[in-house]
């Protein structure tokens, strides 16, 4: 790995749903990837076998790219033995880190070659928790999405030798991670078990004293984009920059990773004391990237900058794409529809493009219990054929008999030409350049060859061999020498040149011996060694420092090992059913959702602006939730009625 102080070594951490996405992320400039194993990842739908995980690690390590395996769900008692078995299997695959949530894992046998990273699901929201997890052997902490630059700076100052990881691109959870239970409450699908049903993306109603004041996808946030703030994040202490999206497609992974990679390259180019955390990863891209061309819900930096008014988009949680054009007219034809449209700007339709539009509301009746009929819905189609073009007016053919309102705005969420270019491997190829130095020395009748591999991103590696000089044998000529030593060990290494010192006439060895020397040097040069970390096991009788969260919600304690952990720290585990408890703090602890985004601030009047925050309820999926506010700390809570 590059030799640099901890806070000068920058890591771009990309998501990988599977082997294909993992390779694409690496070739697009990732310094590390995070991926699910066979079980216990916070995206239950993104699993990978150990066989695939081993292939992913082998490919990643060619480039010095680390592999973080998600192990960030809560576990039941009968899963702990399998968890231990799986940890051994993940280590055998030579993964670099486990991203964890359940404290029961601290009592398992974690190999020293697996670093422990605390997931954002751990809800490490104060310095005391940060230092506690550090004391348990955690080396990297995934920061809460709702942290501001000031919050991050405080964490870095409190533990400057701890790596801080921040989300910079991708979906935002409206609820604080690790303490969101609304999916479990409504659908029996726990976010803490990797099964979030994304309740926050559903249509819902906001009431004040039973009077509706807002309807729509009220809790659906825009996607995160902190790339313009990379330098500020780096100065605040962030060293790992995470892209959300383990369920996303390959095009999203390539687009977002390449975009963030280009931005980090620009930073390191201007700040030479900073380096990237993987090999040969300082090149810039020679093609134009556009984040809006792959899945997004619009972008915001509202949480980082504490601008809560810029967070949500209540119209739709779907990917609309950029504004494309306007429907002038349409005609039904046999098994299809012919659409006349006028494009905006320099937009041009292509065969295979995906276009979207808003359908008009089915009902304007505020008393209609079917919310989905009262709000705009999204539909779309693929362009079968671009038939005619005149200026910016085009006639296109699509499959099916469709109905539109003339003047409807079209958006493009699938740009066929852009994605074809994006998915081209020639654009994303990442190579490992190296050169060879060959030194030839003689002592009496023995000849010694010293072959050294060198590059700008790795330490030099040299090996030697000695053979007897045979004056009757024909020496290996320059062309044959270059042909033999120029062979690469894989398709991603790039031989850049050979420097020779000594007399070529002394090379009377067999070509096979020279080839073996080349192979040994390059295998050693491109080898990868995992780092070892110090880990503090709990021990059967070890006393634990009191944990900084003295009251723990029973809903996040699913096994005896976790109960023992909290018990030995002095924490009290309390039931989430607080029907008979009047303490506001305990009621908030039992809430189904805690959020920095406040519905009252957005759709009514915040207490800081003279409003009252009582009497508000939210109706989702036929259930009512009381809204409570902690205005001093600026948090909103949903409490099940």
Q: What rounded mean pLDDT belongs to the chain?
A: 92
Q: What's domain 322-426's architecture?
A: Beta Barrel (2.40)
6-172+221-310 domain in CATH 3.20.20.380?
yes
Q: 12 and 31 in contact (C-beta within 8 Å)?
A: yes
pLDDT at 580: 42
pLDDT at 502: 95
Question: Given a cut of 90, is residue 569 above it in pLDDT?
Answer: no
pLDDT at 583: 60
Question: Given a cut of 60, is residue 3 above it in pLDDT?
Answer: no
pTM of the model: 0.94
Burial 537-553 (b: 16+ CB within 10 A, else e): ebeeeeebeebbbeebb
pLDDT digits 0-9 by tens, 475-519: 999 999 999 999 999 989 999 999 999 999 999 999 999 999 999
Q: Alpha-carbon torsion 312, 313, 319, 324, what sign?
A: negative
The DSSP line for 352-368 is T-EEEEEEPPS---TT-
Domain range summary for the chain, segments of one domain joined by +: 6-172+221-310, 322-426, 432-525, 551-640
Question: Given a cut of 90, is residue 534 above it in pLDDT?
Answer: no
Rounded to a whole number of angstroms, the CA Rg of the chain reads 29
Q: Could you give the 3-state DSSP secondary structure of residue 178?
A: coil
Lowest mean pLDDT among 414-423, 511-520, 526-535, 569-578: 569-578
> 248 — phi, psi (to 5°)?
-85, 160
DSSP H or E stretch at residue 611: none
Per-residue pLDDT, averaged over 351-370, amounts to 83
Q: What angle do CA 21, 197, 304 make, to 5 degrees?
A: 70
> 481 — phi, psi (to 5°)?
-60, -45
CA distance 117 to 134: 10
- Rank 357-366, 532-541, 576-585, 594-603 by mean pLDDT and report only the highest: 594-603
Which one-letter DSSP state was computed for residue 417? H
pLDDT digits 0-9 by tens, 9-63: 999 999 999 999 999 999 999 999 999 999 999 888 889 999 999 999 999 999 9
pLDDT at 302: 97
Q: How confident is the model at residue 575 (pLDDT cuts 50, 70, 90)?
A: confident
């Amino acid at each position: 790995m590059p030799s640099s102080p901890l806070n000068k070594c920058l890591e771009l951490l990309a998501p990988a749903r599977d082997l294909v996405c993992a390779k694409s992320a690496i070739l697009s400039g990732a310094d590390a990837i995070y991926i699910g194993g066979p079980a216990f990842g916070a995206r239950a739908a993104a699993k990978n076998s150990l066989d695939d995980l081993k292939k992913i690690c082998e490919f990643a390590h060619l480039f010095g790219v680390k592999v973080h395996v998600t192990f960030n769900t809560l576990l039941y008692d009968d899963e702990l033995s399998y968890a231990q078995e799986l940890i051994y299997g993940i280590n055998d695959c030579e993964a670099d880190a486990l991203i964890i949530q359940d404290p029961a894992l601290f009592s398992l046998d974690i190999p020293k070659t697996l670093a422990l990273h605390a997931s954002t699901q751990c809800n490490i929201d104060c310095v005391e928790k940060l230092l506690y997890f550090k004391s348990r052997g955690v080396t990297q902490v995934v920061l809460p999405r709702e942290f501001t630059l000031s919050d991050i700076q405080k964490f870095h100052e409190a533990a400057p030798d701890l790596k801080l990881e921040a989300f910079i691109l991708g979906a935002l959870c409206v609820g604080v991670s690790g303490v969101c239970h609304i999916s479990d409450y409504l659908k029996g699908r726990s976010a803490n078990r990797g099964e979030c049903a994304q309740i926050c993306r559903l249509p819902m109603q906001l009431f004040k004293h039973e009077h509706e004041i807002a309807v729509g996808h009220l809790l659906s946030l825009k996607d995160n984009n902190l790339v313009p703030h990379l330098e500020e994040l780096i100065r605040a202490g962030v060293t790992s920059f995470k892209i959300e999206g383990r369920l996303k497609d390959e095009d999203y992974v390539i687009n977002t990773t390449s975009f963030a990679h280009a931005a980090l390259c620009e930073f390191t180019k201007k700040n030479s004391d900073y380096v990237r955390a993987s090999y040969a990863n300082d090149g810039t891209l020679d093609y134009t990237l556009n984040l809006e061309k792959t899945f997004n819900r619009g972008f915001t930096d509202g949480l980082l900058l504490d601008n809560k008014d810029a967070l949500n988009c209540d119209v739709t949680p779907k990917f609309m794409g950029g504004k494309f054009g306007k429907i002038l007219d349409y005609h039904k034809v046999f098994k299809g529809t012919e659409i006349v449209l006028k494009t905006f700007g320099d937009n041009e339709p292509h065969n295979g493009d995906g276009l979207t539009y808003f359908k008009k509301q089915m009902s304007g009746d505020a008393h209609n219990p079917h919310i989905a009929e009262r709000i705009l819905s999204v539909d779309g189609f693929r362009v079968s054929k671009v038939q005619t073009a005149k200026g910016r007016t085009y006639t296109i053919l699509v499959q099916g008999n469709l109905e539109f309102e003339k003047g409807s705005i079209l958006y493009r969420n699938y740009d066929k030409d852009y994605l074809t270019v994006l998915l081209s491997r020639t654009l994303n190829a990442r190579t490992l350049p190296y050169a060879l130095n060959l030194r030839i020395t003689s002592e009496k009748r023995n000849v010694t060859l010293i072959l050294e591999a060198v590059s700008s991103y790795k330490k030099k590696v040299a090996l030697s061999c000695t053979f007897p000089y045979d004056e009757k044998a024909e020496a290996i000529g320059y062309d044959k020498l270059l042909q033999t030593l120029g062979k690469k060990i894989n398709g991603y290494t790039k031989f850049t040149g050979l420097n020779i010192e000594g007399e070529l006439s002394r090379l009377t060895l067999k070509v096979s011996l020279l080839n073996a020397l080349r192979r040994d040097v390059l295998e050693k040069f491109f080898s990868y060694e995992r780092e070892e970390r110090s880990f503090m096991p709990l021990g059967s009788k070890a006393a634990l420092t009191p944990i900084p969260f003295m009251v723990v919600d029973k809903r996040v304690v699913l096994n005896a090992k976790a109960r023992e952990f909290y018990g030995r720290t002095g924490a009290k585990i309390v039931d989430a059913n607080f029907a008979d408890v009047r303490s506001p703090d305990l009621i908030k602890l039992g809430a189904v959702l805690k959020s920095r985004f406040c519905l009252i601030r957005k759709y009514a009047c915040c207490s800081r602006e003279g409003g009252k925050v009582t009497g508000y309820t939210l109706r989702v999926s036929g259930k009512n939730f009381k809204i409570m506010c902690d205005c001093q700390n600026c948090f909103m809570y949903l409490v099940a009625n």
